[in-house]
């Protein structure tokens, strides 16, 4: 497939109101894209849409959608088709986190996370697929995670969803080869609010869960989302099938492939040495 050209192309971005989604929105706007922005945060969506218009987007529409509701997203796809003629690029970026061990997390919360992080990716892609197939050179980007490559404890729900996104993306890429490009992205350590806004598993009476999330954000989430967005845009332009962001994520990816049964012990020993 030819390199993806962004100017004048209709790009749908979920989770567009903040974090990587907002950074992608502004990068695409500067490239003259037509934008359909999706988020449940109406105020944040309006703000980023205004910034996108000022940054050079040819046309911008906003779509307030709660991706946890289990909808088939056919109404969203129809809105985009009516306003913009159809989608050329779909970026499934929206995601949430959940703190706690598998024993602590309720099934209701587990299902809530899976609906947003995995099922909404599948449903949204399915809804937009007819448009993508009808528009030559179209592309899909699915945001997985470092935790779609390695599986740390206390992240069972999140890991389940992100490994699912990885598998869905890889199989879909093989099905659509030569017609629609598919890129799966594995960010690690991007400076967003995903940890501090994670849903807590039970009351945080002593504030320890919130404190751990804040410390994780401060020490581990260090790459600005704008840098991640640039890498994602470059991967789409080059039709890369896979993008792993940050050197730490790339090392963990290699380690998990070389020592799939032992990598977590190795990573724990390395972390222990750093704290000595």
CB 84 within 8 A of CB 187: no
Model pLDDT, residue 272: 77
Q: Where are the domains of the chain?
A: 10-245
Other CB atoms within a 10 A radius of the CB of residue 205 amount to 7
pLDDT band, very low/low/confident/very high, at 217 (cuts 50, 70, 90)? very low
89 vs 203, higher pLDDT: 89
pLDDT band, very low/low/confident/very high, at 89 (cuts 50, 70, 90)? very high
Write the Ramachandran bin of 94: left for phi over 0, alpha for psi from -120 to 50, otherwise beta: beta
What average pLDDT is seen over the chain? 91
Q: Catalytic site residues?
A: 158
Instruction: Report the predicted TM-score, pTM, of the whole model to 2 decimal places.
Output: 0.92
Q: Which residue has the tokens 């946890």?
A: 68
Closest CA to 45 of 58, 63, 31: 63
Model pLDDT, residue 62: 98
Model pLDDT, residue 270: 78
pLDDT band, very low/low/confident/very high, at 99 (cuts 50, 70, 90)? confident
Judged against a pLDDT cut of 50, whether residue 160 lies above it is answered with: yes
Name the class of domain 10-245. Answer: alpha beta
pLDDT band, very low/low/confident/very high, at 84 (cuts 50, 70, 90)? very high
Q: Give the tokens for residue 64.
A: 């307030």
């Amino acid at each position: 497939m030819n390199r993806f050209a962004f100017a004048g192309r209709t790009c749908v971005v979920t989770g567009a109101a903040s974090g990587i989604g907002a950074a992608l929105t502004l990068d695409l706007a500067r490239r003259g894209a037509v934008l359909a922005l999706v988020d449940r945060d109406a105020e944040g969506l309006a703000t980023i849409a205004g910034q996108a218009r000022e940054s050079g987007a040819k046309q911008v529409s906003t779509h307030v959608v709660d991706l946890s509701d289990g909808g088939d997203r056919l109404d969203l796809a129809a809105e985009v088709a009516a306003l913009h003629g159809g989608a050329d690029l779909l970026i499934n970026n929206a995601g949430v986190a959940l703190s706690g061990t598998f024993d602590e997390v309720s099934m209701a919360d587990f299902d809530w996370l899976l609906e947003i992080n995995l099922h909404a990716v599948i449903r949204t892609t399915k809804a937009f697929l007819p448009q993508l197939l009808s528009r030559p050179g179209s592309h899909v980007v699915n945001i997985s995670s470092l935790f779609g490559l390695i599986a740390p404890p206390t992240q069972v729900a999140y890991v389940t969803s992100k490994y699912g996104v990885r598998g869905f993306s890889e199989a879909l890429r093989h099905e659509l080869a030569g017609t629609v490009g598919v890129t799966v992205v594995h960010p690690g350590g991007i400076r967003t609010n995903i940890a501090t806004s994670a849903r807590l598993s039970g009351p945080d009476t002593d504030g320890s869960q919130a404190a751990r999330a804040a410390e994780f954000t401060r020490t581990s989430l260090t790459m600005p989302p704008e840098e991640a967005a640039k890498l994602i845009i470059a991967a789409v332009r080059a039709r890369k099938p896979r993008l792993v962001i940050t050197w730490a994520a790339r090392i963990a990816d290699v380690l998990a492939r070389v020592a799939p049964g032992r990598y977590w012990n190795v990573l724990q020993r390395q972390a222990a040495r750093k704290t000595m």
